[in-house]
Structure formats: C-alpha cells, structure tokens
Structure 1
Amino acid sequence: MDRNLALNLVRVTEAAALQSARHLGRGDKNKADEAAVNGMRKMFDTLTIDGIVVIGEGEMDEAPMLYIGEQIGKATKDSIKLDIAVDPLDGTTAVAKGLSNAISVVAVAPRGCLLHAPDMYMNKIAVGPKAAGKVSLDGTVEENLENLSKALNKDISDITVTMLDRPRHRELVEKVRKAGARIKLFQDGDVAAAIATCFEDSGVDILMGIGGAPEGVLAAAALKCLGGEIQGRLYPVKEEEILRCKEMGLPNVNGLLTIDDLAKGNEIIFSATGISNGELLKGVVYYENNTAKTYSVVMRAETGTIRFIEAIHRLDKKPEYAK
C-alpha cells in the first residue's frame, strides 16, 4: 500500500479533530460529533481513493455519521480499493463535558480486510505484545488474569484491568476484584484504552468489557501495527441487530472474532489525532493569530512503523476550518 496514504490519513483525523475541538466543554455532544464528521468527510473527499465505509459510527444513537456503505474519496479507474473504519469522534461525551481522552480515528485496509458489521456493541479483550496469544474471550476472568500474570511476569495484584465505567460491567468488576487485580475505569473512548495495553508506561495491562463494534475494529487495526492482540464477540441487544449481521454476511453472530477476523493482513494503516488531552495523545491547542496545534499518531502494520506527529495549522489559510 502506498506509504503516502499514511500522511494523508493524518490530515483526515487532524481535520476532524480541529473541527470537533471547538465544541470542547460546550455541552452538546451531537454538535461535536457533527463537526468531526464534516471535517473528516471534507478531507476524505480530497483523496484519490476508492473507499467504502465498512463499519462506522452513528447508527446506534442517531448521531451524525459517516454511514456504512458510504463511498469515500475521489475514485478513478486506477484508485486503490479500500475498506475504511471510522470514528470521527471517539469520546463524544468527553468532548461535550470537557473531559480527557477524546480522539479522532480512522483505519484503512485493502478491500475485504476489515470486518463489515453493523454499529452495535462488542465484547472485547485486548492485550499488548507480551501477552498476545495468552488470553481469550472464551476463558474466565480468573484464567485470563492468571495467564496474563505469567506472560508479564507480574503478580495478579500488580495487574491493571481497564474497562468502560458502565453499569453493565458491575459483575465483571466484582470478578476482577475477587481475582485480586486492580481496575482502572474510564468514561469514554475504548480505542485509546486498547492501544494503551501495548505501552508499558501506560500502567494498563488488559482491556476487558463491552464497547462499540466500530471501536473494536479500529483497535484491532492499531494492535495489528503494534503487535498486540484483541478478540471480540458481537453483542446484539435488539433482534434487528441480529438480522442485520446476517444480512451483512455474519451468520454466526455469537462467534469469536480474532484479530485477523477484525483486521485481516498487514496492509493496514491506522491514524488518530487527539481532540482533548489524553494518555495517548494531547488534544488540540488553539493559539493567537488563528493558529492551532494538533498531536497525532499514524501506524503501518506492514512495516511496524509508528510515527507521532505534531503539526501547527494556520487556520486563516484553511477556509474549511473557519469558525
């Protein structure tokens, strides 16, 4: 895959972040999401690619979205055909409330390589490179923590499990605590949380629990680049979600999805830009004279390259970013 596409994808997530960050702390998550979507779509429209959104945000909560099946890019007969997974704003509530860890995320791969599924819930487990192959959604909490302890050469009491702070995780929290591990809850944005398992300094060892399916595919793309592992299992809460899965070629809705089911192959590129300050990336900072600074990461699975990019934007030279 063309390496120049990686930098173009950074421009895509930068555009979404610059637009969405203007709504930080303003209390309207839909406006923040809409701004991110519009920014991302405008920048995608400048790329000479033949892309299709195979899994995206918005359907579950009727928010603005880059919808599943949407054609992306200025396609020509020679354009590369791509699957695209998007989350223009992973952390809508975080932006609305002025909280941390909101990011804009996109992943691309050759056609047929990213999971094609509805916007629904997914049960997930994710770990970094040292524990790849050592945990499974089919295992118990106790078994996974014991195997993780051996893989990381750490006592279970020193292991930190991260998960979304949701009532649905009450039983999971009790099991983790009973097993003796520590817990770090977060309010929003489980893509960054999954990625954190791949960085020892993050203090996070494993992600568990139920979040969004789009975030699961995006996290799988990132972990492919980082050498980590994620497994997922779709978690339908409505009968129509089961029917949609079958219509989209997923007859075994409750089947275990490996990292290769979520993101196949190594021709994968992942990009994220911070919107609000977080553990993975700093958020957008606005300066005098209509300038702004963004912090991004872009990864390629084919080479294992991880680039952190800081960019200064002269917004008066970019009409699309006008207030």
Structure 2
Amino acid sequence: MDRNLALEFVRVTEAAALASATWVGRGEEKTADKAAVDAMRKAFDHIRMDGTVVIGEGERDEAPMLYIGEKVGHKTEDSPKLDIALDPLEGTTICATGGPGSISVIAVAEQGKFLHAPDTYMDKIACGPGAKGHIDIDKSATENIKAVAKALGKSVSEMTVVILNRPRHEKLIAEARATGARINLIGDGDVSAAVSTGWNDTGIDLLLGIGGAPEGVISAAAMQCLGGDFQGRLKFRNDEEKARAKRMGVADLEKKFTIDELASGSVMFIATGVTDGSLLKGVRFMPGGQAKTHSIVMRSATGTIRNIEAHHVLNKKPQ
C-alpha cells in the first residue's frame, strides 16, 4: 500500500473533524454526526483508490452514505483496491456535550484484510507492546490485570485500566477495583481508549469490556500499527444480529478473534481530534475563519507514527 496514501487520508479525517467540531457542546448528536459523515464522504472523492467501506455507518437501508459495501474514492485503472473501516465521529455524545476524546477515525487495509464485523457488540481486551502476548479474553479481569502488570514490570496498584462506564460492566468494574488497580471510567470513545494503551504518555495500561464491534476492528488496526495486542469476541443482542453476522461471513459466532484475524497485512490508522483527549488535541477555531487540527497517522508496515498539526484557512477549502 502506497505510503503517500496515509497523508491523503489525513485530509479526510481533518474534514470530518472540522465539520463536526462546529457542533461541540451544542447538544446535537445527530447533527454533529451528519456533518462529519457528509464531510468525510465528500473528501474521499479526491483520493485515487478503489475503496470499499467494510466498517461504516451501518447497512445500506440504515445509512444514506458511508454504509457497508459502499464504493469510495476516485477509481482509475491502476487504483489500489482497499478496504476502509471508519467512524466519522467516534464519541457523538462526547462531541455533543463537549467532553474529552471525540475523534474522527479511519483504518485502511488491503482488500480482504479486515474482519467484516456486523453492527453488534464485542467483548474486547487491548494492551500496548510491552504486554503483547500476555492477554487472553478467555481469562478473568483479575488474571489479565496481573499478567499485564507482570509483563510491564509494575505492581498491580500502579496499573490503570480503562472501561466504558455502562451498567453491563458493574461486575467487571468491581472485580477490577478489587485487584487494587486504578480504574479510568469513560463515557464513550473506546477506539481512543484502546489506542491509549499503546501510547506511553497516556498512562493507560489495559482496556477491558464490551463496546461496538466495528470499533473493535478499527482498534485492532491501530494496535497493529503500534505493535500492541487486541482480542475480541462478538456479543449478540438478538437472533437478527447473529443472522447478519453469518451473512457477512462469520461462521463461528463464539470465536475468539485475535488481532491478526481482525486486521492483518499492511494497515494504516488515521485519526483527527474533535475535542481534547489523552490521545489528540481537539479542533481549535481562531479569528479570521481559521482553525488548527491535530492528527496521528500510523502504518503497520514501518511502525512509523506521525503527529500532524495543521493550520486551515477555512474559506479556501474546496466546496
């Protein structure tokens, strides 16, 4: 996969972040999400590729654009065939309330290298490079926390575990706290949380709990780039979701997916901050119709991680 594409894709996440950031703190989740989707879809038209959305805004009857199966990009005879996993606005509630950690994110792989995950839940565990190979979703939270602490050369009391603050995680949170580890409860945005486990400056050591399956695939792509680890198991809410998973090629509904089964080959991960978080700074609007964005661009092939701070003159953006 052409490395120059990574810098093309950052323009896509920047466009979505800039569009949704105008709605930060205004309580309009759907409006902010639509702004991000519209901007991202339009920006894709400028990239030379034969792209297919495999993780997106839902199926065609549920989403007008960026739906699963939609073709994106400017296709030519020699355009690379790429699979796209995306979330134009991860953390819609965060954006609407002005909270921390909302991002626009894309993961890109060669054709057929992402799990085609249905829009259901996924039980997840993620850690950074220092604990790669030491996590197992089949084991208890206590066992995983102790194993990661040992791998990192920390005491359990020095560990920080991030978990979505949901009623379904009541027992998980209680068990994690009982180990003596520090618990960071988040309201939304578990892609950022998973990536944070591989980012030394965040202080996050482990992600545990159930979140969206599409976000799990995107997180696995990021962890491939960071050299971290990720495992997931689909958690279905009803028979319709099980049937959809089978139609998408998931034969074993109880399967434990490793990081290589979720995202493999040459992978790129691109994200732009919408609101300030531990991973990225949010969009800054300035006088005179200008703005600043902060993005990260990562490639699994080289392990390169680029932080990109861009200055935008908004009235010169393509319409």
Question: What is the TM-score when the length of structure 1 is the normalising length?
Answer: 0.96
Cα distance in 2 for partners of 1:201, 1:81 equals: 35
Q: Deviation digits for residues 186-225 of structure 1, max 9, x if unmatched?
A: 1111111111111232111100001111111111111111
**Partner residue, 1:277:** 276
Q: 1:120 to 1:203 in 2, by over 3 A?
A: same
Q: Does 1:314 align with 2:318?
A: no
Q: Which runs of 5+ in 1 are unaligned?
A: none
**Partner residue, 1:169:** 169
Cα distance in 1 for partners of 2:41, 2:130 equals: 37
**Partner residue, 2:12:** 12
Give, as a single letter, the amino acid of the residue that structure 2 aligns with 1:288. P
Pairs within 5 Å for 1:133-172:
133-172=133-172
Higher mean displacement: 44-53 or 174-183: 174-183
Give, as a single letter, the amino acid of the residue that structure 1 aligns with 2:296. V
Q: 1:169 to 1:303 in 2, by over 3 A?
A: same
Pairs within 5 Å for 1:203-218:
203-218=203-218
Give, as a single letter, the amino acid of the residue that structure 1 aligns with 2:186. F
Aligned partner of residue 74 in structure 1, secondary structure: coil
**Partner residue, 1:185:** 185
**Partner residue, 1:300:** 299
Cα deviation for residue 63 of structure 1 reads 6.9
Q: Deviation digits for residues 51-72 of structure 1, max 9, x if unmatched?
A: 111112346xx67752111111
Aligned partner of residue 281 in structure 1, secondary structure: coil
**Partner residue, 2:47:** 47
Cα deviation for residue 312 of structure 1 reads 0.6
Asked if the contact 1:57/1:214 (under 8 Å) is kept, the reply is: no
RMSD: 1.5
Asked if the contact 1:123/1:234 (under 8 Å) is kept, the reply is: yes
Q: 1:70 to 1:108 in 2, by over 3 A?
A: same
Cα distance in 2 for partners of 1:270, 1:142 equals: 30
Cα deviation for residue 174 of structure 1 reads 1.0
Asked if the contact 1:34/1:65 (under 8 Å) is kept, the reply is: no
Cα distance in 2 for partners of 1:4, 1:95 equals: 30
Give, as a single letter, the amino acid of the residue that structure 2 aligns with 1:293. K
Cα distance in 2 for partners of 1:177, 1:305 equals: 35
**Partner residue, 2:234:** 234
Cα distance in 2 for partners of 1:143, 1:203 equals: 20
Cα deviation for residue 120 of structure 1 reads 1.4
Cα distance in 2 for partners of 1:142, 1:283 equals: 34
Cα distance in 1 for partners of 2:65, 2:20 equals: 13
Large movers: runs of 4+ above 6 Å: none
Give, as a single letter, the amino acid of the residue that structure 2 aligns with 1:280. L
Aligned partner of residue 23 in structure 1, secondary structure: coil
